[in-house]
Structure 1
Amino acid sequence: MTTGRDVVFTFSYETYADAEARGMMRPPDRILQTLLNADEVAGLLVANPYRSIPSVLRAGFSPETGPRFAASKRGALITPARMRRADPTKLGAIVGEYRRYDSVLKRRSEQLGLRVPVIVTANPLVAAFCPFAWASSVLYFGRDDWLSSTSRQEYWPAYQMAYQQIRESEIAVAAVSQQIIDRIRPLGPSMVVPNGVSPAEWLAPLPPEPEWLAALPKPRAVYAGTIDQRLDTDAVAALAHSRPDMHFILLGPSPDPDYVSQLRELANVHVHGGVGRDELVATLRNCQLSLLAHRRTALTEAMSPLKIYEYLAAGLPVVSIDLPPVRGINDRVLVAPTAAGMGPLIDRALEIGPMSEAERRDFVSEHSWESRHRVILDLLMRSPLLHRSEVFRR
């Protein structure tokens, strides 16, 4: 007989299909994987963010029941729908939308027979504005500081109010960095849960180089991740000019190809599109150096850079801009005040060289997602229930 607790999990602005397409590699995706596999979880409802009714119907399923969720026999997936996909920008309208979202989740949870479930959400608007009177508790998981996301600036007033609501309602908060915790200032339980790695991906024997990588001379320095405004392209260009002997690889999707146009002109800079997880692992494990060449912004200062953990899982030395979540991860992470000042550290990093295989395996085991999420599961499953304020303030 199952004695675990029922859970409702919600994404932020992406869907389960998005998570599957990217290989379940982002922190909320990994938490969902943990919930799917945890013995402590009895029933599980996974909720996508709002999507438009036309797009949901075009996909061929009912707006409230969603597509078949094949990942777990004990779970179900739901896609709440409305006429427009995007949230309204006025605070009152946002609160109304998420009260309706709450009603959809409540109805589906009851249909599944979930009993006073725990809520785990990666969306601060869900955590703050869904009443969840039918749930036992709420845990907000912060993977980014949404108040620093310039791409969502029109929602900053809503996020500010959401953080206040999370704080005053004493909602539990787990975040990838202390900076996010400090921004929210939660009065309820809180914890920092940095990013991690999957041992199954990183502990296999050394994979062969992808063909495109094998064509590039060594030494190779790699930056892996979305190539967007976080990347300091001027600093990368300066590094490439100062080290013509080294080949710099930018590996990941480029939402704005023009953003890296100056780098494409450099013979020792290679911009390569996004790849699957196996190819990412093979690429990192066959490079000599890794880079975190971010601009210093409020957003990057609050991140727990997943790529650094993956660089180290590959055994690579890291040259990084000095950001608070980067400090103290490993002595192979060399930090410079700015991306422009990273050049002098390259030779030192190459001298340090890769980890021994024993060191690398120890790092992967110590920083596994399983070990990261154990503290979250312990918090979710503890008795008595997490405190949730009976007063839903507005």
Structure 2
Amino acid sequence: MTSEEQRPPLILWLAGVGWDEVRGTDSRLVEELSATATVLWCDPPSRGWTVPLAEMARPFDAVAPNVLRIRVPALPWSTRYGVRVVTAAQTRAAVRRALQALDAVPDLQVVASPIQRFVPGVGGTKVYYQTDDWLGGASLMRLSPSFVSRNIRANCWEADVVGAVTEVLLHEVMGAHAPVRPETRLQVLANGCYEIAPEAGPSERDPVAGLVGQLNERLDLDVLDALAEAQVPLRVLGPRTEKDPAYGRRLDTVLSAPSVEYLGPAPADAVPGHLARLGVGLTPYDLSPFNRASFPLKSLEYLAGGLAVVSTDLPAVAWLGTDLISVARSPEEFAVRTRHAIATRGTDGAETERRAFAAGHTWARRADDLLDLTVVRGSSRHG
């Protein structure tokens, strides 16, 4: 076997968020891909701040095992009309510089961003991967919808594979908006979870429901109000990231209810311990078009922790195809199902089944799916 055949695949990942920002689909999947590949992660062009000169002089930095980050300095208002041309040129130049330093060409080029485009002339199977409804959320990201739309259409047309985290996003959003070539493959590449080992000894779950994650406008406050009115014990962990003042005031009322215990943000390494104490995990997302196209991370995370789950009727839940998630179709039904799950916690013998189901949807499995889909393989992950 030649040295070229032995080298791990090289993946160029044009990311939607910076490596140091909130950990989401991008970084979690890349961490798993790095088990069998080298990943060249390209941050979005920096907006409103200057990369230090010492860092600009380096083509990339090692930020994790087998993950090299490219940082792209950009002019202020880098996504505005007129400046975008300069921004795109800076990105292309930074990527080519990094590849030249590695003396390599990518086997796989992934665009997972509403503002990035495939880099021409560098090679690699092209995968366009949409992790959220970027067109629907353009205004929230302070991006021009027409700019995002043009990027989606161009990337979908160039891609060898078009993937999205949900069927809704893949077919109803992108499928209707962006034409693809006849030979392009469409594929659901859903979010995943990490396996969580059960704690030693018998499970001692508190008689309380849990809501873990960011608290913002994606949550259905009618559901949370119904839980508070029914006096369902609720423990909430996560940062508040809402932007609408009126929503924030309603959220204040919910979090100050006598039946609600708000613990604030929790470090990632503390979450498994919290999950081990909860009686049921909740995914109370509203049914906005943005949420219908999303794949909540928390539902699989709850299952990985052995928890029963109650969720609103999201398409992502239907795609998972399991009765381990109890679906409620009204705020009142949500409260009833949550109370029942608390009352029966630890008595249904399903914790092992929940963990086994989640084990089939880990980030490692998602990484394998992506590599298998694009026929890009290094040495065996498990060998």
TM over 0.5: yes
Q: Which moved more, 1:74-83 or 1:275-284?
A: 74-83
Q: Which of the numbers 239, 247, 253 marks the counterpart of 2:239?
A: 253
Which residue matches 2:68? 76
* Matched letter for residue 240 of structure 2: S
Contact 2:227 2:335 in 1 (8 A): yes
Determine whether 1:32 maps to 2:25: no
Are the aligned partners of 1:177 and 1:194 in contact in 2 as well (CA < 8 Å)?
yes
CA 359–98 in structure 1, closer or farther in 2 if over 3 Å, else same: same
Shift of 1:291: 1.3
Contact 2:194-2:304 within 8 A present in 1 as well = no
Q: How far apart, CA to CA, are the structure 2 residues paired with 1:190 and 1:17?
A: 30
Structure 2's unaligned 5+ residue stretches are: 378-383
Distance 1:142 1:345, change over 3 A: same
Q: Distance in 2 between matches of 1:334 and 1:340?
A: 14
Identify if the C-alpha distance between structure 1 residues 327 and 207 changes in structure 2 by more than 3 Å, giving closer, same or farther: farther
For 1:206 and 1:328, the matched residues in 2 are separated by: 33
For 1:176 and 1:281, the matched residues in 2 are separated by: 24
Task: Give the alignment partner of residue 345 of structure 1, picking from 337, 340, 345.
Answer: 337
1:84-117 deviations in Å (ceiling 9; x for gaps): 2x43333x64354223312210121111111244
Helix, strand or coil at the partner of 2:20? helix
The aligned amino acid for 2:34 is L
Q: Which one of the candidate residues 156, 168, 188 is aligned to 2:157?
A: 168
1:191 aligns with 2:187: yes
- Displacement of 1:61 in angstroms is 3.3
Q: Is the alpha carbon distance of 1:377 and 1:234 closer, same or farther for their aligned partners in structure 2, counting shifts above 3 Å? A: same
Amino acid at match of 1:77: R
Any residues of structure 2 matched to 1:134-149 within 5 Å, and which?
134-149=122-137
Distance 1:83 1:208, change over 3 A: farther
Query: Which of residues 15, 20, 23 in structure 1 aligns to 2:18?
Result: 15
Aligned pairs (5 A) from 1:212-361: 218-242=206-230, 244=231, 246-256=232-242, 259=248, 260-327=251-318, 329=320, 330-339=322-331, 341-350=333-342, 353-354=345-346, 355-361=349-355
Q: Shift of the alpha carbon at 1:175?
A: 1.5
The offset of 1:79, in angstroms, is 0.5
CA distance in 2, matches of 1:356, 1:324: 23
- Work out the CA distance in 2 between the residues paired with 1:194 and 1:339: 27
1:162 counterpart letter in structure 2: N
Structure 2 residue matching 1:61: 3-state secondary structure? helix
Q: Who is 2:359 aligned against? A: 365
**TM-score after normalising by structure 2:** 0.84
Q: 1:158-212: per-residue Cα shift (whole Å, max 9, x none)?
A: 121122112322442221101121122244222112222222xx02425999xxx
Provide the C-alpha distance between the structure 2 equivalents of 1:262 and 1:231, rounded to a whole number of angstroms: 14
**Does 1:97 find its partner at 2:87?**
yes
1:70 to 1:303, Cα distance in 2 relative to 1, 3 A? closer
Counterpart selection for 1:65 from 50, 58, 62: 58
What does residue 392 of structure 1 align with? none
> Please, which moves more after superposition, 291-300 or 351-360?
351-360
Contact kept, 8 Å, 1:177 with 1:193, in 2: the verdict is yes
**Matched pairs, number:** 357
Residue 159 of structure 1 aligns with an amino acid whose one-letter code is: V
For residues 164 and 328 of structure 1, the distance between their equivalents in structure 2, rounded to whole angstroms, comes to 26
How many Å separate the matches in 1 of 2:168 and 2:267?
30
Contact 1:292–1:319 at 8 Å: present in 2 too?
yes
User: How far does residue 309 in structure 1 lie from its aligned partner after superposition?
Assistant: 0.2
Work out the CA distance in 2 between the residues paired with 1:103 and 1:318: 47
Contact 1:61 1:67 in 2 (8 A): no
Give the SS at the match of 1:100. helix
Let me know the Cα RMSD of the aligned residues.
2.8
Tell me, in whole angstroms, the C-alpha distance in 2 between the residues paired with 1:53 and 1:240.
Answer: 42
SS in 1 for 2:287: coil
Q: Displacement of 1:50 after TM fit?
A: 1.1
Change (3 A) 1:148 1:319: same
Alignment-mate amino acid for residue 100 of structure 2: E
CA shift at 1:34, angstroms?
Answer: 1.9
TM-score by length of 1: 0.81
Q: Is the 8 A contact 1:206 1:282 kept in 2?
A: no
Structure ranking higher in helix proportion = 1
Structure 1 runs not aligned, ≥5 long = 384-394
Write the distance in 2 (CA, Å) between the matches of 1:255 and 1:75: 29
In 1: Cα distance, 2:40 partner to 2:159 partner: 23
Instruction: Give identity over the alignment, percent.
Output: 22
